[in-house]
Amino acid sequence: MANGYFQFKQFTVHQDQCAMKVCTDACIFGAWFAAKTADYTTVLDIGAGTGLLSLMLAQKSNSEIHGIELDLGAFKQLKENIQQSIWKERIRVFPGDARTYAFPIKYDFIITNPPFFENDLPSSSEEEQIAKHSKQLSLEELIGVISRSLEPHGGFGILLPYHRWEYFNKLATENGFSLVENLLVKQTPKHDFFRSILHYSRTNDQFNPTFELTIKGEDGNYTEEFTELLKDYYLYL
């Protein structure tokens, strides 16, 4: 059973009321974009869950950050996590469905860890199904929400299963977005890639490098790359 909370260096994420707990790939995702979004004035976190991504980005920026969460139990905990943080004055959270919600502004950057297991086995609870699966929010609907909610100069970041990134890239391209970079994540050198972290903008500069990150080496310890990325967040790095 997952811990009721996850302690980071500068904030705590309580998660006992959320179907989706803090996980390593989401932490990689947040840390990867935290440095890249430091200069953005406004950021939106779609499907904010525990508030993990909003808090990670707030630690490295002065941005105004908004988050939206559909599940009311998760939203209650999201709000509590934000209120207990030192960045509560810069983070606003909304309960609701991103597909129909009237956001107060358009954003410079959007970050989202969507319910992406569209074709995998159902989860045990309704809350976990919504959190883990594209049951309430498909990738097609998500790209529409992103497109409507971004400033013309804006960009976005998304975390997906590795096997879904090419499909999503086609959707993004059809909606006028260009891939800026792609980070492929694997557990160890012996494992295949299991996550893809994608960065998009509306500016097509024809340069979209692919990076690779391995979480643990063959010795079972975190790799230097992982440690460098997460050292400002994880307590024991």
Q: Map residue 221 onto helix, strand or coil.
A: coil
Tell me the mean pLDDT in the region 204-221.
92
Which comes out higher in pLDDT, residue 31 or 36?
31
Report the pLDDT value the prediction gives residue 38, as an integer from 0 to 100.
85
C-alpha closest to that of 60 among 191, 229, 236, 235: 229
State the average pLDDT for the chain.
90
C-alpha closest to that of 148 among 178, 112, 180, 110: 110
Task: Give 215-236 pLDDT, tens digit per residue.
Answer: 999 999 999 999 999 999 999 9
The dihedral of CA 127, 30, 141, 152: what is its sign?
positive
Give the CATH number of domain 5-230: 3.40.50.150
- Residue 68 predicted with pLDDT over 60: yes
Report the pLDDT value the prediction gives residue 2, as an integer from 0 to 100.
54
Q: Is the pTM of this model over 0.75?
A: yes
Token readout for 26 is 């989401």
